[in-house]
Amino acid sequence: MDKQQSFTEIQEQLEANDLRLTPQRAAVIKVLLDHTDTHLRTEEIFLLAKEFAPDIGLATVYRTLEVLEKLNIINRFDYGDGQSRYEMGRDTEEHYHHHLICLGCGEVSEFKDDLLEKLEEKIAAKCQFKIVDHSLRFFGYCKQCQDKDCD
């Protein structure tokens, strides 16, 4: 089962790295914690964070995301569309979940079954390579985009 960090744990991690929890950083963290099942783009995080910190700037959001990524609090994903997406990191996953990316609307969803264990073991043995993680992305069309084509 995935374990998300709490707001307090993130605050403690920032302080342990001599970083203050500013109202702007708190707003970004709150947005990410409130949207753990979503893969948010920077601009989406910015717009949502403005609800909690109206004076926040886009550059501040970028810097905050960079800090949180360096501390392994969040994960950044690039799906080939030129826009990074972010989500809270999970500390207890042996392997990261995989992503389904809709080429129609851009929606990103998760597929959590790890069907690659046997393949990973075979590759590791054959290549004498210690695999510590892997990532898999599937590109296609979500149900809604498929239905639009059927109309």
CATH number assigned to the domain comprising residue 9: 1.10.10.10
Same-domain check for residues 135 and 86 = no
pLDDT at 133 exceeding the cut of 50: yes
Q: Domain of residue 135: give its range.
A: 95-151
Pick from 29-38, 80-89, 121-130: least confident: 80-89
Q: What is the pLDDT of residue 95?
A: 58
Q: Which two tokens stand for residue 21?
A: 């929890």
| Mean pLDDT of the 36-47 span | 91
Residues 83, 52 share a domain: yes
Q: How many domains does the chain have?
A: 2
**Higher-scoring residue by pLDDT: 78, 92:** 78
pLDDT at 66 over 90: yes
Stretch among 37-46, 69-78, 86-95, 112-121 having the lowest mean pLDDT:
86-95
Mean pLDDT of 96-103: 80
Can you read off the two tokens belonging to residue 40?
């948010």
DSSP sequence for the chain:
---PPPHHHHHHHHHHTT----HHHHHHHHHHHHTTTS-EEHHHHHHHHTTT-TT--HHHHHHHHHHHHHTTSEEEEE-SSS-EEEEE--SS-SS--EEEEETTT--EEEE-----HHHHHHHHHHHT--------EEEE--HHHHHHHH-
**Residue 119: which residues within 8 A CB-CB, separation 6 or more?**
none
Give this prediction's pTM: 0.70
CATH number of the domain bearing residue 128: 3.30.1490.190
More confident: 77 or 41? 41
Cα–Cα distance for residue pair 20/45, rounded to 1 Å:
20
User: Is-contact 27 10, C-beta < 8 A?
Assistant: no
Domain boundary among the residues 92, 116, 141 is at 92
Per-residue pLDDT of 4-16, as tens digits, reads 688 999 999 999 9
